[in-house]
Structure 1
């Protein structure tokens, strides 16, 4: 039986009287790539905030790698092996590519950007930073200031910073937003590379990216998962077509082929 690395059980999140996540249930299998899709305002980013410890749940349980993690802070969850692109919210634009990756590796080890430490003595962190640079294809740009990178390079760097800590589960929130088709295709290959042997949970609006990456797709509407299945079955799911795509059940299937 396939082991679940992440389980959300009747998770709820309220801001005052406003319900954002409403009894959401989701299981993520170890080693799979699962994409979360849904209309704007469905609660996808809030869901990621709950999983990564940036927000606390109002009710329900979140289990990660066998332990209940709701109530733990982002640093504690990160150190258990869950990396997220939003763990470090912004690139350090005045620093080099290498310094950004090194900072992320330091944060994962609990140094919290304490640059006064003698980081020259932390050789394993330097080795990890160089490994990540090669993985994301930016080794030749290591000494370039971040503000001189192209947009696609900056997004690649953000992905690199998310994986620099060596976590076995990666959360990426719309990593291809704002990219051209060619840039998105390159990003798909990069994400496949960095997630090899790991578990990937990704929020993404670009259906080309979703169907190019995902083993399964979870559809979130009004704070609940209404379907979670293979891309092919999600594409054919009438409930998904109506709730997510605004397509009525009696419309022809050709109308919804645009999600491929």
Structure 2
């Protein structure tokens, strides 16, 4: 399988504290890959290294064989990688429609211009409305994004994430803090909007992980201790000892 994302020898230290300790990982095109591990394992730091928010201490990250070292987050985004965050990241005072339309501007050719009136652009409006329909928020189109329910705000953020046309989508704990029904709604949405795309997600809900992921990597203390299909990871004695056994026991 051709790799969408390749990580080799990735390390990150803050002062004398090493958080990511030599991560190697390859995620194939079209794969849904989950990264799991205990709190403090370095999962969000790894996401931040991949997306350019933090510079690595050493190692490389490649997107479709292109080295991302030294690139800013917006440059990486324009190369086809987009992400969401643990904390919902939307414009609460703008309408749901305006949030999505903003995220479409660059990919649709709108640059820094004072004379383009985006409200008159039919293709931009149609594209935004298509995404709203895809994320089931058409009925909320004209509401301020800040009044949406928590699950709807997460759905909107996913819509913003995919709006730029990225083919690699990274989601950081997309179902955190949700009820069972909200989780089911978001999982169905993720499955739909990442069809034919590469998905990399950090998630603590093992039901979500085992239901969505083609492969799983387990990160513990900054190192990947196992990668494989869900059934392989579930049966791995080292994973059970370090993380999974305690999680599954707590869930029951």
TM over 0.5: same fold? yes
Give 1:82-121 correspondences, 5 Å limit.
Answer: 82-86=81-85, 90-108=89-107, 117-121=116-120
SS of the equivalent of 2:105 reads helix
1:52 paired residue number: 51
Any unmatched runs of 5+ in structure 2?
none
Contact 1:175-1:204 at 8 Å conserved across structures: yes
For residues 199-253 of structure 1, give each alpha carbon's deviation from its aligned partner in whole angstroms, at most 9, with x where no partner exists: 0000000111101100001100011111010111111100001111466xxxxxx
Give distance in 2, aligned partners of 1:228 and 1:95.
Answer: 41
Give distance in 2, aligned partners of 1:87 and 1:81.
Answer: 20
Contact 2:85-2:173 at 8 Å conserved across structures: no
Any unmatched runs of 5+ in structure 1?
248-254
1:179 paired residue number: 178
Q: RMSD between aligned alpha carbons?
A: 2.3
1:80 paired residue number: 79
How many residues align? The count is 252
Give distance in 1, aligned partners of 2:179 and 2:21.
Answer: 34
Give distance in 1, aligned partners of 2:115 and 2:85.
Answer: 24
Give 1:186-225 correspondences, 5 Å limit.
Answer: 186-225=185-224
Give distance in 1, aligned partners of 2:93 and 2:47.
Answer: 28
SS of the equivalent of 1:41 reads coil
TM-score norm. by structure 2 comes to: 0.93
For residues 30-55 of structure 1, give each alpha carbon's deviation from its aligned partner in whole angstroms, at most 9, with x where no partner exists: 10100000000100001111111111
Contact 1:7-1:26 at 8 Å conserved across structures: yes
SS of the equivalent of 2:50 reads helix
Cα distance, 1:110 vs. partner?
A: 7.7
Give distance in 2, aligned partners of 1:224 and 1:40.
Answer: 13
Contact 2:234-2:244 at 8 Å conserved across structures: no
2:157 paired residue number: 158
Contact 1:36-1:203 at 8 Å conserved across structures: yes
Contact 1:34-1:216 at 8 Å conserved across structures: yes
For residues 171-199 of structure 1, give each alpha carbon's deviation from its aligned partner in whole angstroms, at most 9, with x where no partner exists: 00001111001110111110000000100
Give distance in 1, aligned partners of 2:121 and 2:79.
Answer: 21
Matched, 1:141 2:133: no
TM-score norm. by structure 1 comes to: 0.90
1:250 paired residue number: none
